[in-house]
Amino acid sequence: MAKAAPPRLNNYLLVVLDSCRYDSFLRARPKIMRQLGPVERRYSYASWTAPSHFNLLMGLLPHGSPRHVFASEYYKQDFLKFRARLGSQDLQFRSLAPRLYLPLYLQQLGYRTHARVSLPVLNPRTILNAGFDTYQLMDKHNDMRAMLAGMTFEKDRPSFYLLNVGETHYPYALPDEPEDLWPRISGVHGVFKHLDDEVTGGKLKRTRGRFFDEKQMADLHRRQVAAVRHVDRVMEELFDLVPRNTFITVTSDHGELFGEDGYFGHGPVMHERVFEVPMVEGKLR
């Protein structure tokens, strides 16, 4: 049974702008999210949505890259930052082990834990749905505003919310944009759903055509920047909704490639821009 949390603990929100790379965030010049603090250049532990969210929910937020520092020392300092995020300098981290899963740890501290996810790869049947009191896959992959409608905060105990925001994920579509206007790149949609249809005699069918068009890639990058600006406006509504004793971390699960060095997207890509993400955080006052 969860312990009653002391009233000084903060509500904590982890807002993940899916696929948003660092320079897209800077180009968007978000005004609302910057109110939380300075924008940091960080690096994701993984290049794909599901494994990156597992790291995030272990408490491993995107990292810096300090030289001449042992990894163990970096981890210690990084985990200690949760004292500021949660609002207590007395937190003990032994109970993180052996599960090493932040939602379970927060439940032990008395938190109500919630997840609102946009990408189907994070659906409630996945292993990520552990330690959450509620876990919801949104009806649309690109509507952060819909997440806000169901958010509640209790007076006698703190809340934790994971918000996986999909507007910044391919096809970088805003919720009011008709689907027939979304960009379509062959081979990107429905990898798992349509894989069996693309196999003949145990082998994948050959695909033809150019890999990408430079103008198209530039347009897609502009769409992601526009998506960040849209999300920034929704964040203002979120700031108005949450109680004042709320600490918010905004970051990304990984970056994105828009044609640089012959790459597009993320996942099986070894390129700095796939791991380079923004991070801004702070407490609302």
d(CA 1, CA 32) in angstroms, rounded, equals: 38
CA distances from 260 to 99, 104, 110, 114, 218 (A): 39, 40, 46, 37, 10
The residue ranking higher by pLDDT, 179 or 5, is: 179
Element (H, E) at 195: none
Give the per-residue pLDDT at 259.
Answer: 87
**3-state DSSP assignment of residue 12:** strand
pLDDT(1) > 80: no
The residue ranking higher by pLDDT, 212 or 165, is: 165
Phi, psi of 238 (to 5 degrees): -65, -45
| Counts for the chain of helices (H) and strands (E), in that order | 9, 11
d(CA 242, CA 172) in angstroms, rounded, equals: 26
> Please, how many CA atoms are within 13 Å of residue 141, restricted to the half-sphere of its CB?
15
Give the per-residue pLDDT at 243.
Answer: 94
Give the per-residue pLDDT at 183.
Answer: 87
The residue ranking higher by pLDDT, 139 or 197, is: 139
CB 108 within 8 A of CB 3: yes
93-98, long-range: CB < 8 A, 24+ apart: 96/59
221: confidence class by pLDDT, cuts 50, 70, 90: very high
pLDDT(43) > 60: yes
pLDDT(145) > 50: yes
* Residue 5 DSSP class: P
Give Cβ neighbours of residue 81 (< 8 Å, ≥ 6 apart). none
Give the per-residue pLDDT at 205.
Answer: 52
Give the per-residue pLDDT at 62.
Answer: 98
Percent of the chain with pLDDT over 70: 87
d(CA 18, CA 74) in angstroms, rounded, equals: 25
Give the per-residue pLDDT at 209.
Answer: 52
Give the per-residue pLDDT at 8.
Answer: 74
pLDDT(274) > 90: yes
Question: Mean of the per-residue pLDDT values for the chain?
Answer: 90
Neighbour-count burial of 21, counting CB atoms closer than 10 A to its CB (0-12 exposed, 13-18 middle, 19+ buried): buried
CA distances from 216 to 22, 220, 262 (A): 20, 6, 13
Domain 11-283, CATH: 3.40.720
CB 124 within 8 A of CB 135: yes
Residue spans of the domains in the chain: they are 11-283
pLDDT(148) > 60: yes
**3-state DSSP assignment of residue 171:** coil
pLDDT in tens, 51-109: 999 999 999 999 999 999 999 999 999 999 999 999 999 888 888 888 999 999 999 99
7: confidence class by pLDDT, cuts 50, 70, 90: low
pLDDT in tens, 175-200: 999 999 898 775 554 444 544 554 45
Give Cβ neighbours of residue 214 (< 8 Å, ≥ 6 apart). 259
Q: Is this model's pTM higher than 0.75 or not?
A: yes
